[in-house]
Structure 1
Amino acid sequence: MDKVDILKTNVRPSKEMFIYECGYEYCAPTKPFEYIHINYYLLHYIIDGEGYFIMDGVKHHLKKGDGFFIPPYKDNNYYPDSDNPWVYRWVGFNGTECKKLLKMSGFYDGNYTFAYDFENGLKDNFLNIYLSFKNGDYFSSLGFLYQVFGKLIKEYENESNKLSNPKEIYTDKAVEFIEENYNKQISVTEISKSLNIDRSHFFKCFRDVMNISPQQYLINFRLSKSQDLLRKSSFSISTISSLVGFSSPEYYSKIFKKYIGITPNEFRGKYTKK
């Protein structure tokens, strides 16, 4: 295989996005120098070795599985590590939808780098972009570029979710736990243990997000489920109380009357033909 190959075309299979060039390079150690401005977007993916990328005065040390993005008309500088020079593939592209896709991938507010090393997914995509392009199959090449964006967007969304409000994360997981276990004898303490956080801290997080205590949410959820069963099933009150997690039919009836205003039997009677 040659040390470097650069492919270019003026064919534009889609105005939304089209590939202007692509290629690869097995880099030799070089001194840093600044590249000229380009009038399209450029995405590099490192498949081996390491190197340095400088943008907006910030120097990034990148390695296998990392990548970097260069916008049009932007000063940029990148070069391989002298002891372990990088090997990378790149694709240059443009089109009306590029800004949107790049922002969805996390490339905004000064972010020009990414990391993706799962099961050679991007490595294969970049290779297929190049091979299809070389064969003149520009639609397939563009399709593989969309797959690159699909992976980057999904990874960025996953990372963004990890950085979301911790209170919301705990609350979402608590609600999920309740929905899966409401029919068992679970308590607020057990819910907090499932989340690996202190009970009082969990209580505050849940209350701040839901404006209701976790205990009250659990009661409301169980009552809602029991109302569905009262309307749609012929189960006895005793069986229904057990199916939705209440400790006894008597306690269930007491809680139902307190919050719904009538007994379970009276509620069922409203939906029974006479």
Structure 2
Amino acid sequence: MIYGNYGFANIDSFTTNLLHIYDFGVEHRKDENYDYNNAKRKDYDGYLLQYTLGGKGYIEMDGMTTELTSGKAFLIPFPHDSRYYLGKEEGEEWSFCYVHFNGLIADTYYDHISKMQGNIVSVSENSQSIQTFMKEYQAVQNGKQYGQYNNSIFLYQFLMLLLQDIETPTHSIRIGCVDKAVDWMAQNFSTQKNLSEMCMEIGVSLAHLTRQFHQQKGITPMHHLRNIRLEHSLVLLSSTVLTVEEIAQECGFSSANYYAKVFRKSFGLTPTAYRTAHTIRR
């Protein structure tokens, strides 16, 4: 892969005013200061889609830090209350492609995509949109010249394919974040970690995960996590001599009082009453 950036002029016609690319490219960053605070980029306008091809970068927004691993992209307007950067540890590297664009109807695409996935977008590297981008990048790299309308034609095609890839992804991509969340909760339910920390670790917004989770499981991620904790507590109540306080802690509840409240609401009796009834039956 040959890395590079290409800027485009001739954006003053009717067509290009509707939708146009400022610049696009493929870059590789390693062991360097690559760090942008987008709230301070007042002289930078339009929208930026940056897609990870390899390695990883990070983006901070809405009080969360998300790892941008392969297959993840961010889409933001300028200026924007966010920061993206390469990690500071030795050996950190990040390969990505990007397109910086604008136009009278660019905000329509941004609004639609952000409502579906937030500012973090997940698509396969083999998706039509990414493959189309890479082919166009290679064509420009090999000397393709843009006429008056090529800029807008390519960007329109790319954005429409991106919408299609987001709305009708492959099965594996579609269920990816839900599967990751289920696995994470199974491994971490006994800790005091919350769902915001989970979303940061698996690289998805809580709003998007909640929609996908409810669509596939019929319940929210919080409800699923609570069920795991309650089910584990039933095992401990019936098979150990741990106190209610110790069981609450072992199952990840913030306090024994909260655990008892949730338990009673779910089962109609207290943890102590459940233990007593179970012991009598046994």
TM-score norm. by structure 1 comes to 0.51
Residue of structure 1 equivalent to 2:178: none
**Aligned with residue 121 of structure 1, among 99, 122, 128:** 128
Mapped pair 1:97 → 2:99? no
Rg larger for: 1
| Post-superposition CA distance 1:74-114 (Å, at most 9, x none) | 24322234445121111111111111112222x14992110
Q: Does structure 2 conserve the Cα–Cα contact (< 8 Å) formed by 1:90 and 1:126?
A: no
Q: Does structure 1 conserve the Cα–Cα contact (< 8 Å) formed by 2:60 and 2:82?
A: yes
Residue of structure 2 equivalent to 1:26: 28
| Post-superposition CA distance 1:164-208 (Å, at most 9, x none) | 878x9xxxxxxxxxxxxxxxxxxxxxxxxxxxxxxxxxxxxxxxx
Residue of structure 2 equivalent to 1:136: 145
Instruction: Give unmatched runs, 5+ long, in structure 1.
Output: 169-274
Q: Percent identity?
A: 22
Change (3 A) 1:92 1:129: farther
Residue of structure 1 equivalent to 2:57: 51
For 2:45 and 2:71, how far apart are their aligned partners in 1? 26
**Aligned with residue 111 of structure 1, among 118, 121, 130:** 118
- How many positions carry a matched residue from both structures? 166
**Aligned with residue 161 of structure 2, among 137, 145, 151:** 151
| Post-superposition CA distance 1:24-62 (Å, at most 9, x none) | 211113356334522111111111111111224321111
- Paired residues for 1:210-249 under 5 Å: none
For 1:156 and 1:103, how far apart are their aligned partners in 2? 14
Q: Give the counterpart letter for 1:6 in structure 2.
A: N
Instruction: Give unmatched runs, 5+ long, in structure 2.
Output: 169-173, 175-207, 219-282
For 1:8 and 1:50, how far apart are their aligned partners in 2? 25
For 1:110 and 1:55, how far apart are their aligned partners in 2? 14
Residue of structure 1 equivalent to 2:202: none
Residue of structure 2 equivalent to 1:78: 84
Aligned-residue Cα RMSD (Å) equals 3.3
* 1:137 match: secondary structure: coil
